[in-house]
Structure 1
Amino acid sequence: MIRLTFLACLLTIVVTEYPPLEVNFQWNVIKYSDRVTDNEVVKDSPNSYIAANNVISGIKLWKDYIYLTIPRRKSGVPVTLARIPLSATKAKNVTSPDLEAYPSWDMQLAGDCNAFQSVQSMEIDPQGRMWVLDTGRTETMADYQATKCPPRLVILDLENGGVVLRNIEFSQEIAAHNSSNLNDIVLDHQDGGYAYISDSGPEPAIIVYSLKDNKAHKVTHNSMKAESDAITFVVSDTTVKEPINIDGIALSPPEPNRTLYYSSVSSIHLYAIPVKVLQNSSVRNVQKYVVDVGRKTSQTSGMVMSNTGVLYYGLLADDAIAMWDTVANQIFASGPRKMYRNHQLLQWPDTFAFHENGRLWWVTNRFQNFLNNKVNGNEINYRIMSSNVMQKSYQYFPNGTAPELPIITAAAGQIRIAISTAFAILLVFVAC
């Protein structure tokens, strides 16, 4: 009897160690709400919509909506920034809602440099301001890229209908207009406000934008490049063989010694660098500041940090979600734990996000099939999932309160961020 009781308790501990995994939405193919004017091309026109090329990538939440990105890697993607109501999770028989273009259909016009061209990622601060990364190029995985607008950072006011507060265009020296790929973004509200952006293009870098100074510079290091021994891996019997540079980045909670974590998709290493080093544009070589935190069990795309210092990240080749409590166990070799593993549901966890109620959300999109032209519209390809981890975003203090945020007012005209070649940071990796 004692042995059976002990076994029952042990099983209970294993089962309840992590909160339940919930599938909130799932789609075979992504579709969009009807356009609101009669003179525009119908959404399902062969010239404007190719189902297999519409892949949900980014996810963020604010109040009553889930915001999603659909990068224009190939043709036939009519919308690149969209949303769905959070309330749809409670609606009966609504598991695959149509996406609503955000903030409008006009802001989705390919070829119009005032509109979004291809949005890979965005972040929302605690005041409801969305910081959107627009690579500026469409059909980035096609032989001939259709649109070539300047890569930029656009700040929208979600509390005011998505009005544009800032439109920051990056110069060639900061983000090459023909090849950069603005991939992920995290926000630092200390010291006047900073955005750290991963550029996974051929010249990978972390772009540092100062809101207070309205200036940007970039930091480069070999750790941001694809690593040859991690380029090839398998997801659900599909081989991925694509060198992908720095992708997911995560920022530790507000503290004096704040740290940025990052990894390339084509890498099993997790790296870290102090944000004070990133902010200092006079540091010409970051070699001695970059830390190889440790080896993950698989390649990773997206990652996110909570306000209590827990890092959540995907394990692509293992169809899994892992976590590492950086506060409770600072040694990465023994710290990470695998939260969820499901070979059907968790194919390619791409982007993570927190809702203000403490729930963790993420997107899975079977991106291995997109890379190999194997997207099957008769199967479930895209899922939005969540788990009640009872934590908030890294943007909040550990006690759940928000820091004082910088004021952002609508600026007249565009803001172009340039940097002279003489001050461009060219950092060379020196092997240890």
Structure 2
Amino acid sequence: MFKVQNLLIIWLWLCTKLFTNAFKFNEILSSKMVEFQWPDMETRARAEMNGLYIPGHNVPLGLDRWNDKLFITVPRWKNGGASSLNYVDLKRIGENKSLPLIPYPNWDANTLPTDDNINPSKIINTFRVKVDECDRLWIMDAGKTDVFSEKPALFLPPGIVIYDLKTDQFIRRHHFDEKDVKDESFFTNIVIDTDKDNCDQAFAYITDPNAQGLMVYSYAADDSWRVEHHFFHFDPLNGDFNVGGVNFQWSDGVFGLALSPKNADGYRTIYFHPTASTKEFTVSTEVLQNKTAALSEEKYYQFKFIGERGMNTHSSTSVMDPYSGVIFYSQIQRDGIACWNTKRPLNPESFHLIIHNPQTMVFANEVKIDQDNNIWMMSNRMPQFLYKQLNFDDINFRIFMSPVNDILTDSPCV
């Protein structure tokens, strides 16, 4: 009886701790349905009448912040996606948490082309974006829309689009080489490795979870190459998911990427994991940035398995706090965020769920740390959207924010 009481006390303490941390996480934005800031209501009505805007087909996915702009991506999962890359003005956030999304850099860039003469600055379909230290926005553009239909509409080859955030001007577009794009390729996550003192020496790492690969892009060389490894593949024993009352099976490979600060050799360690997996791996960016080495068979042993996170710890995105060495993980099956201190071995005992809310954080799919060391998270009920139907009488999409130090205070990860 004594042991049972002790376990109950510990369980109650853990629940209190998780919800206490959840309360530290401020709900910045929330909405029942995605709405955009249209030029006027006539334009909105015309778009809806012509099937160019179907409100229930717009679900947000990725985010990142630069100054007063909070970027929010709305992938064109189905037809009727009005604008794929958007932002909200953080200065306008107050009691009203349901602000309309403003297309970035404008409506024209996000309007699908009607002929073959496509401006390279167009944004066809983006899932995630990343702001770098040089005030640039890197956009992974899938180049095709209606991705859940039998015949997606292909407008451009997949690749990277880059904008200057200080001027909102287009910098360049890079298409991936045809040989690096597989039939099942679906490029999603993107992280940037750069230095504000040497902006041209930047690299982007882009995941291809459907085809189990990683793309590397050199800004200086304007060149990209595909890297493949066994560790990029999904774990067949960890492909069953239960989220918000929805059961489904995924076979997503490498997805989460977290970059360390520079090591003594001038390179970073990249921590990565497949979504359909509970294992974590690393590789030095020195291997990825050397095109010859990255494509050679000798690279195999440069990739390291570093540990197991534990049951139901599936994660989409992850991000490292450069000051503490703690990595934060979205926890898509546990409705929250977990953390692990990279100074410790990775195992179920060192991997901690620190924020959890089964009502407001269903499918916590995106986690980022901004230039002011605030952590951001988005939950969006994606499984309900994909496999059932969202109830638009409820709040479906939420964005939370908190200073990293507040989240780490009294955390088991410090």
What's the TM-score, normalizing by structure 1?
A: 0.81
Residue by residue, what CA displacement relative to the aligned partner does 1:380-422 show, whole Å, maximum 9, x if unpaired? Answer: 111001122149xxxxxxxxxxxxxxxxxxxxxxxxxxxxxxx
User: Hey, what does 2:3 align to over in structure 1?
Assistant: none
User: Hey, what does 1:95 align to over in structure 2?
Assistant: 97
Aligned counterpart for 2:388 among listed residues 373, 377, 382 = 373
Aligned counterpart for 1:180 among listed residues 176, 181, 185 = 185
CA offset at residue 17 of structure 1?
A: 7.2
What is the rounded CA distance, in whole Å, between the counterparts of 1:41 and 1:174 in structure 2?
41
CA offset at residue 48 of structure 1?
A: 1.3
Q: Are the aligned partners of 1:302 and 1:349 in contact in 2 as well (CA < 8 Å)? A: no
- Indicate how the Cα distance of structure 1 residues 14 and 121 shifts in structure 2: closer, same or farther if over 3 A, else same: closer
- 1:5-404 to 2 correspondences below 5 Å: 20-35=24-39, 42-45=46-49, 47-89=51-93, 91-92=94-95, 94-111=96-113, 113-114=118-119, 115-160=122-167, 162-176=168-182, 179-189=184-194, 192-201=201-210, 203-255=211-263, 256=265, 257-283=267-293, 284-285=296-297, 286-297=299-310, 298-308=313-323, 309-327=325-343, 329-390=344-405
Structure 2 counterpart of 1:318, which letter? R
What is the rounded CA distance, in whole Å, between the counterparts of 2:347 and 2:220 in structure 1?
34
Structure 2 counterpart of 1:197, which letter? I
Structure 2 counterpart of 1:312, which letter? F
What is the rounded CA distance, in whole Å, between the counterparts of 1:344 and 1:374 in structure 2?
17
Q: Are the aligned partners of 1:19 and 1:389 in contact in 2 as well (CA < 8 Å)? A: no
- Indicate how the Cα distance of structure 1 residues 17 and 25 shifts in structure 2: closer, same or farther if over 3 A, else same: closer
- Indicate how the Cα distance of structure 1 residues 250 and 28 shifts in structure 2: closer, same or farther if over 3 A, else same: same
What is the rounded CA distance, in whole Å, between the counterparts of 1:79 and 1:17 in structure 2?
34
Structure 1 counterpart of 2:180, which letter? I
Residue by residue, what CA displacement relative to the aligned partner does 1:13-51 show, whole Å, maximum 9, x if unpaired? Answer: 958778812111111110101136977873433501222
User: Hey, what does 1:429 align to over in structure 2?
Assistant: none
Indicate the structure whose relative CO is greater, using CA pairs within 8 Å and at least 6 residues apart. Answer: 1
What is the rounded CA distance, in whole Å, between the counterparts of 2:49 and 2:71 in structure 1?
24
Write 1 or 2 for the structure with the bigger share of helix: 2
What is the rounded CA distance, in whole Å, between the counterparts of 2:165 and 2:126 in structure 1?
17
- Indicate how the Cα distance of structure 1 residues 38 and 320 shifts in structure 2: closer, same or farther if over 3 A, else same: closer
Structure 2 counterpart of 1:360, which letter? I
Q: Are the aligned partners of 1:110 and 1:147 in contact in 2 as well (CA < 8 Å)? A: no
Q: Which runs of 5+ in 1 are unaligned?
A: 1-6, 392-432
Name the Cα RMSD after superposition: 2.6
Residue by residue, what CA displacement relative to the aligned partner does 1:152-204 show, whole Å, maximum 9, x if unpaired? Answer: 111101110x211111111112234x542221111112582211111123x22
Structure 2 counterpart of 1:380, which letter? I
What is the rounded CA distance, in whole Å, between the counterparts of 2:36 and 2:17 in structure 1?
41
- Indicate how the Cα distance of structure 1 residues 52 and 264 shifts in structure 2: closer, same or farther if over 3 A, else same: farther
- Indicate how the Cα distance of structure 1 residues 366 and 17 shifts in structure 2: closer, same or farther if over 3 A, else same: closer
SS at match of 2:153: coil
What is the rounded CA distance, in whole Å, between the counterparts of 2:326 and 2:375 in structure 1?
12
- Indicate how the Cα distance of structure 1 residues 379 and 38 shifts in structure 2: closer, same or farther if over 3 A, else same: closer
What is the rounded CA distance, in whole Å, between the counterparts of 1:264 and 1:111 in structure 2?
34
What is the rounded CA distance, in whole Å, between the counterparts of 2:274 and 2:89 in structure 1?
32
What is the rounded CA distance, in whole Å, between the counterparts of 2:21 and 2:332 in structure 1?
22
SS at match of 1:35: coil
User: Hey, what does 2:6 align to over in structure 1?
Assistant: none
What is the rounded CA distance, in whole Å, between the counterparts of 1:259 and 1:41 in structure 2?
49
- Indicate how the Cα distance of structure 1 residues 18 and 241 shifts in structure 2: closer, same or farther if over 3 A, else same: closer
Structure 1 counterpart of 2:229, which letter? H
Structure 1 counterpart of 2:156, which letter? C
Structure 2 counterpart of 1:25, which letter? L
What is the rounded CA distance, in whole Å, between the counterparts of 2:41 and 2:107 in structure 1?
10
What is the rounded CA distance, in whole Å, between the counterparts of 1:97 and 1:17 in structure 2?
26
- Indicate how the Cα distance of structure 1 residues 43 and 23 shifts in structure 2: closer, same or farther if over 3 A, else same: farther
SS at match of 1:61: strand
Number of aligned positions between the proteins: 378
- Indicate how the Cα distance of structure 1 residues 339 and 44 shifts in structure 2: closer, same or farther if over 3 A, else same: same
Structure 2 counterpart of 1:377, which letter? F
- Indicate how the Cα distance of structure 1 residues 250 and 87 shifts in structure 2: closer, same or farther if over 3 A, else same: same
Structure 1 counterpart of 2:261, which letter? P
SS at match of 1:318: coil
Identity %: 24
What is the rounded CA distance, in whole Å, between the counterparts of 2:108 and 2:148 in structure 1?
24
Structure 2 counterpart of 1:338, which letter? L
CA offset at residue 332 of structure 1?
A: 4.3
Structure 2 counterpart of 1:101, which letter? P
SS at match of 2:292: coil
User: Hey, what does 2:410 align to over in structure 1?
Assistant: none
User: Hey, what does 1:398 align to over in structure 2?
Assistant: none
